[in-house]
Amino acid sequence: MTQRVPRIQGHCDTRFAGVRAAFERNFDAHDELGAAVTVLADGEPVVDLWGGWADGARTRPWERDTLVNVWSTTKGATALCAHLLIDRGLLDPDAPVAAYWPEFAAAGKESVLVRELLAHRAGLAALREPHSLEQFYDWEFTTARLAATEPWWEPGTRSGYHVLTYGFLVGELVRRITGQLPGAFLRQEVTEPLGIDFTIGLPEKEVGRLAELVASTTGPTPEQAAAFARLEPVGVAALTNPAIDLTEANSARWRAAEVPAANGHGTARAVAALYGIFATGGRAGEHRALSAETVERVREGQGRCRDLVLGVGFAHETEVGLGLWLSGENHSYGPNPRAFGHEGAGGSCGLADPEAGISLGYVMNRMGTRIVDDPRRMALIDAVYAAL
């Protein structure tokens, strides 16, 4: 008989015992397979737990250094690349994107601002013409198509989640300024110097540490299925053009590609450390990655609205800062409305709360079915704040 709650490893400060209890409950109440959670307080680990299985067949235990694809939690790392350039005076959030990427001015986009790109307000949540996986993995081809395409709505007036295009759009700005794709820039400037176990894509040599992504055992509820059926055309295109399923996301070509919106691979410890840069005023130990002023800019709200792509998944309006979602009135990232973070498909998340000095990383391989606010991550966040 399969043990419902596996042996949990790692450490947890007594004050945060409720986080450990919530982590354990997720295995029983939400069919967690393998997962890890890390909480940093003022940059120091107060929770670092892992447990379960790294594969669907339950033959490989989840280890301290198990890596997993974190889907859109990757976007926090990509936004960090842009903010490094802003901090250095190389990228102006109030400049037109075309100032750095001249071809982008096509199809009425000459006035789209960098801040609108960062905040999912550029109207480029999807490509209009069919886009194959082979084309998707071709950086030059995909970015050229995005530069040529017409926005789905008037840029700057609404937000619409740029599910896959975000990484190419922000990433191309990084490439135009530095000559490097965001994965290489992140490695050179952040993860390698700070010893953070996170990459965009995954080097072949690390595959032995990789967890397999596994589908939910329940499938979407009737309410969730109805929500998908109500998606606007831009939402359908954003989620299906191209369509990426678990088979593809577990493939070698997905790992080898540069998908800065969705194929970051790391540990919970790494996610907490990356988002921790935002939580500690730009510091990472003795290293200062960003100025305090730049960190404040990250959470400049760009206007509340019902998201044009994911609006059917929210019971409320939401607001995006410059690359990360604000916790807001719905408390998606805890009770501080000015806390911010990003979640990934299936449930992973990174969170930063500068007022509390807290950052959190949660990763897993059992894909949840909710579009937003997966109950496993919400239970962990609630437990963290209950301990403060």
Report the alpha-carbon distance of residue 231 to residue 351 in Å, rounded: 27
β-bridge partners, 361: 38, 350
Q: How far is CA 347 from CA 167, 236, 378, in A?
A: 19, 20, 9
- Residue 380 in tokens: 């962990």
State the burial class of residue 351 (Cβ atoms within 10 Å of its Cβ: 0-12, 13-18, 19+).
buried
Enumerate residues 6+ apart whose C-beta is below 8 A from 151: 107, 108, 109, 112, 122, 123, 124
- Residue 265 in tokens: 């691979």
Query: Of 72, 159, 327, 332, which residue is the catalytic one?
Result: 72
Place of tokens 């409720």: 18
CA 357 to chain centre: 20
Enumerate residues 6+ apart whose C-beta is below 8 A from 296: none
State the burial class of residue 123 (Cβ atoms within 10 Å of its Cβ: 0-12, 13-18, 19+).
buried
- Residue 215 in tokens: 């589908």
- What SS3 state is found at 322? coil
Whether residue 72 lies in the annotated active site: yes
- What SS3 state is found at 345? coil
Contact between 107 and 145 (Cβ < 8 Å): no
Report the alpha-carbon distance of residue 58 to residue 53 in Å, rounded: 5
* Catalytically annotated residues: 72
